[in-house]
Chain A
């Protein structure tokens, strides 16, 4: 009976696709939703490619997935992905429907699937990945994810015991997942910018998991990311199987090494988060048997997706769209840190409001007080525009972060707020937006571009 339901679900989902295309609704998760409605254990029966790699974690999973897919495709593999769908069960189902013929035969060699951490329990019982890559585990949405140790336990309870894990050794929370599973670790050796004491507001792994003593760090990058050890009981972070080292931000190079060799890679971005993404992808590809030479060559032909970071020169300024996810204090802290370290004078347009929440209830703003807005108290950041439904909250948070009041302007309407930008010649204008405000951010960017061009006349 289940098998019959499955066939009906697969065919109905397949049939829905041309209908969705005709009605202009392609790209949605509807086929997956439909299939799951007809056959709740659809994922059990749908065929999977020979190799399935799942990528999960708080930040970087989209970028790592894109790198893996692009590189595997450059290497001649047919790769199924979910980059145009969601990373929850309906999106994964939609992708696997796309990857199956009407006779339920796989059309792809491999699948690289971005999987939402909270969706693990519904997906992994049926889609048993050969590898699960965990980029990192940080605080994320308070409502969904509670705290990173909760998510780590969630993954431990969900990931099949035979799945190999590719884990970030510099993240003691991520590297603690599913301790019985086979695993390899990646990490980045000491960088010039590393410290030994946490300067961030949050560090979710301050104490030793064995004896509760305050952990020390050989080097600490940000938050709880670094090489930790316990001064009391001898506990220490795992050793690297794949390591990034000799990161040179001037030459934009780093070495990635493992026991089989090392190679110099060209950096795709000078942001540490993206350097981690590169090492993560390289470690995964090495596990798949690809040579460093090939990975480095293919990687040099990729780029970070434009929805995450995009720079263009407009009028007399550089306009930079920078993803700084709402309700994700870590992603936003990283964005603040990054901007503060860029040379030159800067204006910031803060519009990472959770617009969906605003429609239905009201955004939980606790995360603003976990986020290191203190980085924005920098004399080179000459002007900050707080906008959107939470504009007032941003203004107060910036003031408490030490940003002088005369550098902050506040306007709830995002389009009216663009008129407040100064467009000082030679400066950079950053638009900070989140996933929820993505569509609006593009419209705002278009208006900002017009204003920047007018200001240059």
Chain B
């Protein structure tokens, strides 16, 4: 079983790579890293999970240009039910465009019916508490803007914090087994139930996580903390 990490040389801003490493460690999968100079392996190989983490603003443009020829393969993978996880501002690369604060537009890949704004002097930082089915999801957001448009039911249902933008409840985007979220960093490590959910979708029958007891201890504590009504949420 293989987990493919796309463009780790630039898509790894906040400990993102821990997501793939943790899942691999929990199921014995191999992590394969695809650089900008290579064709994504999922186009031709059996890949259990494709992962892409957040990047710089220049990185977003580089990924857009690099990945554009492979969009057909991505659309096919989504239709086939292949698992894809996209975190942080990598989600914006697959929207229609990003609007800069000076009004200029940067065209993106157009897979999602959303667009994003970018305010380089106004960083949005918050904690996040949400739901996926019956699972609590905890995480962190740290971004230069939000996205707008039709994200349907999203990936997560926001309990506290911002959805796709502060005005909506659904957070992220889900298309079949493609999951995209603004949550940054080691999302999978911080959410053991979500890690198991992904492992099941990868075909692991009875997943057991690496250091599951300790990971659950961290998770339980964080869910409890983030659920405290008096806990500040916006940094």
Contact = CB atoms under 8 A, between A and B. Distances in A.
Interface of A: 139, 142-144, 146-147, 149-150, 201-202, 206-207, 212-214, 329, 357, 360-362, 364-370, 392-393, 395-396, 399-400
Contacts of A369: 14-18, 185-186, 189
A147 B184 CA distance: 13
A400 B22 contact: yes
A146 B35 contact: no
B127 interface: yes
B68 interface: no
Given A143-B123, A146-B144, A147-B56, A400 B9 contact: no
Given A150-B120, A214-B35, A396-B189, A361 B211 contact: no
Give chain A's interface secondary structure class: helix
B168 interface: no
B185 A366 contact: yes
A366 B186 CA distance: 6
A396 B25 CA distance: 14
B235 A213 contact: no
A207 B36 contact: yes
A392 B217 contact: yes
Given A142-B142, A396-B217, 17 more contacts: A143-B235, A149-B56, A149-B58, A150-B56, A150-B57, A201-B15, A202-B12, A206-B9, A214-B9, A364-B142, A364-B185, A365-B186, A366-B14, A367-B14, A369-B14, A396-B215, A400-B211
B140 interface: yes
Contact of B125 (A143, A365, A396): A143
Given A396-B214, A396-B215, A400-B189, A146 B123 contact: yes
**Counting chain B CB atoms within 10 Å of each CB, which of A360, A366, A392 scores highest?**
A366
Contacts of A150: 56-57, 120
A370 B235 contact: no
Contacts of A206: 9-10
Interface stretch (B40-48, B72-80, B151-159, B224-232): B224-232
B62 A212 contact: yes
Given A214-B35, A361-B232, A366 B15 contact: yes
15 contacts: A142-B125, A143-B125, A144-B123, A147-B13, A149-B58, A150-B56, A201-B17, A212-B62, A361-B231, A361-B232, A362-B225, A364-B235, A369-B14, A369-B185, A369-B189
B208 to A, nearest CB: 15
Contacts of A144: 123
Contacts of A360: 232
Interface in B159-199: 184-186, 189-190
